[in-house]
């Protein structure tokens, strides 16, 4: 497949950014490195949600469920059955995919606010399951003591730096997959559906099927972020898939800039760092986070990515019709 | 977009460089890391906890074993994921020598494996998760508080023998601590001859109990409620409004009628009976002084959250003194922490048992009104109760940890 070429300065920019991500870990304090790892993992979640919110115009309030599914697959399989990491990974992805396939049937009957409500309800079903199915999930106690992955490779990922690189590889893999998808004819048709469903239908596209496949892909990649999260944190609990996590994921997308993939990843990093660094200095950090959100919505409705483009180019970014 | 991202990352790296900060000096201050819910639904409890610790450090002039003390306070919002992140921050970034923190029992289970990995001693003055000093001991966790079932064991038998209730309905918060408090009560209450005839489990931080209150069976003699933090504030009032108080006496776990909630409750709480390791109404000179000074400083009566964190400060002091202030030697520091015995804490004498849980007094308290204020009057003291009470430890440990389904509800 031919990928659209980026302008030269962007290629260089992205290259340098990648270089920094690769080179910086040994120079970072271990706490900062753990935050950067978190940012990458939440970046995967935010990018997968961006496929729904940005490219399909379907704001979901239940995306944390997929993170939870991936995370619980790893938690249960590794601590209870001592499963190998590849099996845990596959089960995590398949489970997220299967649940997305079922939820998609229900959720895609609606759009806009109704889609928001249905995904919210479905997300709470998964949360409730984690909470009440104590014999499997250990309820509110959560599952602790999840070991770091062993991929059968000559490297151990037990230490922070190797695990960071593993997360980076996972992040790049997710980015690559999503990048290819959104730039494929399929991805273009998703954007078309976002812009005008009726026109796409008239042109002969099976709109529902396109949305359904998009929904499943988003869920599966979301599950991947959960797999990484369980290995990173060593602990899984229902708190992982509370409404707050879903809202946070949506805010990452809004903050970073919809339909840009990398924007939401930057949004994820911004929120992870804001949350964890500001709270060191003040207990009023929630207030500051709130102010940042309001500021973004009022002054940079297209998110960080949009604001930067506008700032440097002096042009308005392509307007989006769907509102989050 | 790339260029701007680059700039953003550059800034990030700069922040990182600044973050690494000045190198930590060998004989700097003793660093104590605290984490608790300072925002969110349980924030008020988190403040009680931090205030207790601060009050002790103020009393000793922020000097322990001849070294200055630095207290680092972190907010975990009562969320396990955030608690783990803050644990990383305190150990890796602040290089603390000892930690004290936590409120909810399930966070205790989440943190323990990580604490063991870091080999930095952490005091659990409140988190009462039973298994951390029973079936899944954590080497680096020093529990200076209690196990959830510890006050319930003597209480269950006492309720049957002294209050004479035969059939009890239980309403408990649906998480580790709730199961353990209820489980301990059910075990000894039923062994004495009583019957638990119904168990209801509202989720943690429930504030509307109407659906649960409506289900309470009419043939009970009393209701045993285990509420925590924000739920304790709401439950007694709704219990009264549902017309239940006049018919069924309300007893409960210690946190249901804790001093943290009493000032916010009205007459609906009067008569509530509960066991705990502390009561602000304890009539000892040490406790009277503690209550008076705490009130002068923070304008409210100390709760057991304040007392346990106050005593945790003292605990750290005693251990650090015992090893000449050399807290960098973490193995010796841990050993010293385990050896601490305090004979005159506000709550009474405390020392650790062979499994690392305090042996201490259990007080049975009744909410009464004195001078317009609600107090937990102590009506019975069980001296020096261990987590196993009258049971043999090795036999007790053969049963599974208390859970939603253990002990099973035989009379439901």
Q: Predicted confidence band at B224 (pLDDT cuts at 50, 70, 90)?
A: very high
Q: What distance in Å separates the CA atoms of residue A307 and residue A295, rounded to the nearest whole number?
A: 12
Same domain, B161 and B272: yes
Q: How many domains does chain B have?
A: 2
- Is the CB of residue B1 less than 8 Å away from at least one CB of chain A? yes
Which uninterrupted H or E stretch holds B197?
Answer: strand B195-200
Q: What is the pLDDT of residue A314?
A: 56
Strand B358-370 versus strand B348-352 pairing type: antiparallel
As a three-state string, the secondary structure of B121-163 is CEEECCCCCHHHHCCCCCCCEEECCCCCCCCHHHHHHHHHHHH
Distance of CA A190 to the CA centre of its chain: 18
Residue in this structure with the two tokens 């909410």, named with its chain if needed: B367
Q: Is the pLDDT of residue A62 over 80?
A: yes
Structural domain contains residue A269: no
CB A224 within 8 A of CB A68: no
Q: Is the pLDDT of residue B21 over 80?
A: no
Q: What is the pLDDT of residue A92?
A: 95
Q: Predicted confidence band at B250 (pLDDT cuts at 50, 70, 90)?
A: very high
Query: In the listed set B324, B340, B356, which residue is the last one of a domain according to the structure?
Result: B356
Q: Predicted confidence band at A232 (pLDDT cuts at 50, 70, 90)?
A: very high
Residues of B in contact with A266 (CB under 8 A): 5, 8
Q: Do A10 and B8 touch (CB under 8 A)?
A: no
Same domain, B137 and B233: no
Taking CA–CA distances from A275, the nearest residue in chain B reads B82
Same domain, B230 and B290: no
Q: Is the pLDDT of residue A268 over 50?
A: yes
Q: Is the pLDDT of residue B330 over 70?
A: yes
Same domain, B44 and B121: yes
The whole-chain average pLDDT of chain A stands at 87
Q: What is the pLDDT of residue B23?
A: 39
Q: Give B166-182 pLDDT, tens digit per residue.
A: 999 999 998 889 999 99
Q: Is the pLDDT of residue B15 over 70?
A: no
Q: Give B380-389 pLDDT, tens digit per residue.
A: 999 999 999 9
Structural domain contains residue A84: yes
Structural domain contains residue B18: no
The backbone torsions φ and ψ at residue B129, rounded to the nearest 5 degrees and listed phi first, read: -50, 115
Q: What is the pLDDT of residue B4?
A: 56
Q: What is the pLDDT of residue A98?
A: 96
Q: Is the pLDDT of residue A320 over 60?
A: no
Structural domain contains residue B39: yes
Q: Do A280 and B74 touch (CB under 8 A)?
A: yes
The backbone torsions φ and ψ at residue B366, rounded to the nearest 5 degrees and listed phi first, read: -125, 130
Q: What is the pLDDT of residue A17?
A: 86
Q: What distance in Å separates the CA atoms of residue A166 and residue A157, rounded to the nearest whole number?
A: 8
Q: What is the pLDDT of residue A113?
A: 87
Q: What is the pLDDT of residue B7?
A: 52
Same domain, B63 and B130: yes
Q: What distance in Å separates the CA atoms of residue B150 and residue B35, rounded to the nearest whole number?
A: 24
Q: What is the pLDDT of residue A26?
A: 86
Q: Give A75-105 pLDDT, tens digit per residue.
A: 999 998 988 999 999 999 999 999 999 999 9
Q: What distance in Å separates the CA atoms of residue A66 and residue A272, rounded to the nearest whole number?
A: 19
Same domain, B106 and B156: no
As a three-state string, the secondary structure of B355-374 is CCCEEEEEEEEEEEEECCEE
Q: Is the pLDDT of residue B88 over 80?
A: yes
Q: How many domains does chain A have?
A: 1
Strand A235-236 versus strand B273-276 pairing type: unpaired
Q: Give B111-143 pLDDT, tens digit per residue.
A: 999 999 999 999 999 999 899 999 989 999 999
Structural domain contains residue A86: yes
Q: What is the least distance, in Å, from the CA of B110 to any CA of chain A?
A: 6
Q: What is the pLDDT of residue A96?
A: 96
Q: What is the least distance, in Å, from the CA of B378 to any CA of chain A?
A: 33
A303 Ramachandran zone, left/alpha/beta (phi>0; psi -120 to 50): left
Structural domain contains residue B403: no
Residues of B in contact with A256 (CB under 8 A): none
Residues of B in contact with A39 (CB under 8 A): none
* Selection from B241, B279, B255 nearest residue B45 by Cα: B255
Structural domain contains residue A4: no
Residues 141-160 of A with CB under 8 A from B: 141-142, 144-145
The partner residues of B359 in beta bridges, in order of sequence, read B351
Q: What is the pLDDT of residue A5?
A: 57
Q: Which tokens belong to A95? A: 């489970």
- Is the CB of residue A264 less than 8 Å away from at least one CB of chain B? no
Q: Predicted confidence band at A6 (pLDDT cuts at 50, 70, 90)?
A: low
Q: Average pLDDT in the A186-201 region?
A: 89
Q: Predicted confidence band at A66 (pLDDT cuts at 50, 70, 90)?
A: very high
Q: Average pLDDT in the B356-382 region?
A: 95
DSSP string, A263-287: HHHHHHHHHHHIIIIIHHH-TTHHH
Q: Predicted confidence band at B281 (pLDDT cuts at 50, 70, 90)?
A: very high
Q: Do B85 and A144 touch (CB under 8 A)?
A: no
Q: Give A162-178 pLDDT, tens digit per residue.
A: 999 999 999 999 999 99
The complex's ipTM works out to 0.74
Q: What is the least distance, in Å, from the CA of A226 to any CA of chain B?
A: 13
* Selection from B278, B306, B162, B260 nearest residue B269 by Cα: B260
Same domain, B241 and B161: yes
The backbone torsions φ and ψ at residue B387, rounded to the nearest 5 degrees and listed phi first, read: -65, -20
Q: Give B49-69 pLDDT, tens digit per residue.
A: 999 999 999 999 999 999 999
- Is the CB of residue A22 less than 8 Å away from at least one CB of chain B? no
Structural domain contains residue A304: no
Q: What is the pLDDT of residue B199?
A: 96
Residues 188-227 of B with CB under 8 A from A: 203-204
Q: Predicted confidence band at B202 (pLDDT cuts at 50, 70, 90)?
A: very high
Q: Predicted confidence band at A136 (pLDDT cuts at 50, 70, 90)?
A: confident
Which uninterrupted H or E stretch holds B3?
Answer: helix B2-20
The partner residues of B373 in beta bridges, in order of sequence, read B370
The partner residues of B100 in beta bridges, in order of sequence, read B34, B123
- Is the CB of residue A208 less than 8 Å away from at least one CB of chain B? no
Residues 161-180 of B with CB under 8 A from A: 174-176
Best of A235, A238, A265 to mutate (most B CBs within 10 Å, chain B): A235
Q: Is the pLDDT of residue B161 over 50?
A: yes
- Is the CB of residue B238 less than 8 Å away from at least one CB of chain A? no
Q: Do A29 and B93 touch (CB under 8 A)?
A: yes
Which residues span the domain enclosing A48? Answer: 30-241
Residues of B in contact with A21 (CB under 8 A): 9
Structural domain contains residue A151: yes
Q: Give how far Cα B159 sits from Cα of A273, B63, B239, B368, Å.
A: 51, 45, 20, 18
Q: What is the pLDDT of residue B19?
A: 47
Q: What percent of chain B has pLDDT over 90?
A: 77
Residue B354, classified by CB atoms within 10 Å of its CB into exposed (0-12), middle (13-18) or buried (19+), is exposed
Q: What is the pLDDT of residue A141?
A: 83
* Selection from A119, A320, A306, A126 nearest residue A211 by Cα: A119
Residues of A in contact with B5 (CB under 8 A): 13-14, 17, 262, 266, 308
Residues of B in contact with A305 (CB under 8 A): 1
Q: What is the pLDDT of residue B260?
A: 87
CB A44 within 8 A of CB A170: yes
Taking CA–CA distances from A317, the nearest residue in chain B reads B1
Same domain, B391 and B244: yes
Q: What distance in Å separates the CA atoms of residue A219 and residue A65, rounded to the nearest whole number?
A: 9
Residue B312 or residue B233, greater confidence: B312
Structural domain contains residue A133: yes
Same domain, B111 and B216: no
Q: What is the pLDDT of residue A312?
A: 65
Q: What distance in Å separates the CA atoms of residue A74 and residue A102, rounded to the nearest whole number?
A: 21
Q: What is the least distance, in Å, from the CA of A34 to any CA of chain B?
A: 8
Q: Is the pLDDT of residue A8 over 80?
A: no
**B349: which residues sit within 8 A by CB, 6+ positions away?**
B341, B342, B343, B360, B361, B384
Count other Cβ atoms within 10 Å, centred on residue B40. 17
CB B330 within 8 A of CB B121: yes
A to B CB pairs, distance under 8 Å: 133
Structural domain contains residue A11: no
Q: What distance in Å separates the CA atoms of residue A14 and residue A12, rounded to the nearest whole number?
A: 6
Which residues span the domain enclosing B69? Answer: 28-148+285-356
- State the number of CA atoms in the 13 A half-sphere of B390 facing the CB: 11
Residues of B in contact with A15 (CB under 8 A): 2
Find the CATH number of the domain harbouring B73: 3.40.50.2300
Q: Give A204-216 pLDDT, tens digit per residue.
A: 888 899 999 999 9
The backbone torsions φ and ψ at residue B224, rounded to the nearest 5 degrees and listed phi first, read: -105, 115
């Amino acid at each position: 497949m031919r990928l659209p070429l980026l302008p030269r300065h962007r290629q260089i920019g992205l290259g340098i950014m990648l270089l920094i991500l690769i080179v910086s870990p040994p120079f970072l304090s271990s706490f900062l490195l753990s935050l950067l790892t978190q940012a990458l993992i939440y970046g995967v979640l935010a990018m997968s949600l961006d496929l729904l919110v940005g490219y399909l115009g379907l704001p979901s309030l239940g995306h944390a469920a997929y993170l939870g599914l991936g995370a619980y697959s790893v938690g249960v399989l590794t601590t209870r059955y001592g499963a190998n990491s590849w099996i845990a990974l596959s089960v995590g992805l398949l489970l997220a995919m299967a649940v997305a396939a079922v939820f998609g049937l229900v959720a895609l009957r609606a759009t806009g606010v109704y889609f928001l409500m249905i995904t919210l309800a479905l997300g709470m079903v998964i949360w409730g399951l984690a909470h009440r199915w104590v014999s499997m999930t250990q309820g509110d106690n959560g599952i602790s003591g999840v070991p770091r992955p062993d991929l059968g490779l000559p490297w151990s990922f037990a230490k922070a730096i190797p695990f960071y690189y593993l997360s980076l590889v996972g992040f790049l893999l997710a980015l690559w997959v999503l990048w290819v998808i959104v730039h494929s004819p399929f991805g273009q048709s998703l954007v078309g559906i976002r812009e005008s469903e009726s026109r796409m239908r008239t042109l002969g596209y099976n709109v529902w099927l396109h949305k359904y496949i998009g929904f499943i892909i988003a869920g599966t990649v979301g599950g991947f972020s959960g797999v990484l999260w369980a290995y990173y944190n060593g602990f899984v609990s229902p708190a992982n898939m509370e409404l707050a996590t879903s809202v946070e994921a949506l805010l990452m997308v809004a903050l970073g800039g919809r339909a840009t993939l990398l924007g939401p990843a930057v949004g994820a990093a911004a929120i992870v760092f804001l949350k964890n660094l500001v709270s060191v200095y003040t207990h009023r950090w929630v207030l500051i986070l709130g102010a940042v959100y309001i500021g973004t919505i009022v002054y940079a409705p297209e998110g960080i990515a949009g604001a930067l483009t506008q700032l440097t180019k002096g042009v308005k970014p392509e307007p989006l019709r769907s509102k989050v | 977009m790339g260029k701007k991202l680059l700039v953003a990352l550059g800034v990030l790296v700069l922040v990182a460089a600044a973050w690494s900060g000045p190198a930590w000096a060998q004989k700097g201050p003793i660093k104590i890391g605290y984490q608790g819910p300072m925002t969110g639904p349980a924030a008020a409890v988190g403040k009680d906890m931090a205030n207790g610790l601060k009050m002790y450090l103020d009393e000793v002039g922020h000097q322990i074993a001849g070294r200055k003390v630095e207290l680092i306070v972190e907010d975990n919002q009562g969320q396990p994921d955030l608690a783990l992140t803050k644990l990383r921050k305190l150990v890796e970034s602040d290089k603390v020598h000892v930690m004290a923190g936590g409120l909810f029992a399930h966070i205790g289970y989440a943190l323990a494996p990580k604490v063991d990995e870091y080999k930095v001693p952490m005091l659990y003055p409140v988190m009462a998760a039973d298994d951390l000093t029973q079936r899944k001991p954590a080497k680096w966790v020093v529990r200076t508080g209690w196990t959830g079932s510890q006050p319930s064991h003597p209480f269950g038998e006492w309720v049957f023998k002294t209050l004479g209730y035969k059939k009890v309905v239980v309403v408990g918060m649906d998480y580790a601590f709730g199961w353990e408090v209820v489980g301990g009560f059910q075990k000894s209450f039923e062994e004495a001859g009583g019957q638990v005839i119904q168990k209801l489990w509202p989720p943690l931080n429930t504030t509307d109990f109407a659906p649960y209150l409506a289900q309470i069976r009419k043939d009970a003699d009393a209701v045993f409620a285990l509420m925590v933090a924000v739920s304790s504030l709401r439950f007694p009032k709704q219990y009264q409004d549902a017309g239940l108080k006049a018919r069924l006496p309300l007893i409960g776990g210690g946190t249901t009628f804790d001093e943290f909630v009493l000032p916010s409750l009205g007459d609906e709480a009067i008569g509530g009976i509960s066991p705990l390791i502390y009561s602000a109404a304890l009539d000892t000179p040490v406790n009277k002084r503690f209550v008076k000074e705490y009130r002068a400083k923070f304008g409210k009566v100390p709760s057991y959250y304040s007392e346990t964190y106050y005593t945790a400060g003292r605990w750290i002091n005693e251990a650090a003194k015992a090893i000449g202030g050399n807290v960098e030697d973490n193995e010796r520091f841990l050993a010293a922490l385990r050896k601490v015995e305090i004979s005159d804490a506000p709550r009474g004498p405390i020392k650790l048992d062979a499994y690392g849980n305090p042996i201490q007094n259990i007080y049975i308290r009744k909410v009464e009104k004195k001078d317009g204020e609600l107090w937990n009057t102590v009506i019975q003291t069980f001296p020096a109760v261990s987590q196993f009470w009258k049971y043999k430890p090795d036999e007790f440990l053969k049963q599974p940890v208390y859970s939603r389904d253990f002990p099973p509800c035989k009379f439901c």
